[in-house]
Amino acid sequence: MAIPILHFWEKYFYNHDEGLGSTYERFIINKVLYDILAKYDIKSVLETPAFGFTGLSGINSLGIALKGVSVTVIEENPTRLELMQKIWSLYDVDISFDMPAGRKYDMSWNFSALWFVDDLQSFLSQLSDITNKVILIMVPNRTGLGYLHQKFTGKNDLKALLKEENICPQVFVPMLKKLGWNMIQTSYIDCPLWPDIGMSKEDFLRKLKLSFLIKQRQKNNHCLTILDYYSGKDPDMKDRLGKLDAFERFAPNLFKKIWAHHRYFLFVSM
């Protein structure tokens, strides 16, 4: 979680540098998405809300769009929508920012965005109506040490600008079950070597004597963005960041419960 992004989200559209944390996070999200696409033969995807707690807004679904999936992204903020459209226009993908009446999708999902929804019951009901196969919800890990720290330090923003109850599994899981969706999988994800804290991840790795893992970032004028991987400018990025996933692959769930930054919940239609 990074509550300050509520106040400076726009800067990432002018300087795409998301840093090591968000870039690593995007590859982990993609792995989950790609597995779902293959398992459930997903051809169309809706992402809503599109604004979540990450760096560059609105590109969470870009990785799956590049695999030929038809993607719709919904964004209500007109300024953010215009900036998002400019990023997406750089890629030859099937993308829409409007949802026609009667349109249905194989899969609907969102990342760290559920707490922006005003009426959760109504939102999930509408999501259920327009989704055929899969609903994927990704939320911050509320038992993580980083989340608890940031919740305390950002408590004023959290209370004033977000609906924390929306990201509680005890709230949204029963709602979706009543709507005819069965939760078949949940897992802690985004569990890198660094904690979910506000400090630069590069500085944290230096403290661990792992600065060799960020040499490429220094060569690229200190700019790190998954867009360079998607465009082919930095084709080795995925392998390089893959060296940081030891906790992701081998740590037990008891450890991930206090260390992982996010958690996902996968639902299929009953």
Give per-residue pLDDT as tens, 175-217. 999 999 999 999 999 999 888 865 565 666 666 565 555 554 4
Report which of 84, 95, 89 is spatially closest to residue 46, judged by C-alpha positions.
95
Asked if omega into 140 is within 30° of 0 (cis), the reply is no
Residue 2 has pLDDT above 60, yes or no: no
pTM of the model: 0.91
Q: How confident is the model at residue 218 (pLDDT cuts 50, 70, 90)?
A: very low
Domain boundaries 5-269, corresponding CATH code: 3.40.50.150
Give per-residue pLDDT as tens, 182-193. 999 999 999 998
Residue 227 has pLDDT above 50, yes or no: yes
Residue 152 has pLDDT above 90, yes or no: no
% the chain with pLDDT above 70: 89
| pLDDT value for 241 | 93
| pLDDT value for 135 | 98
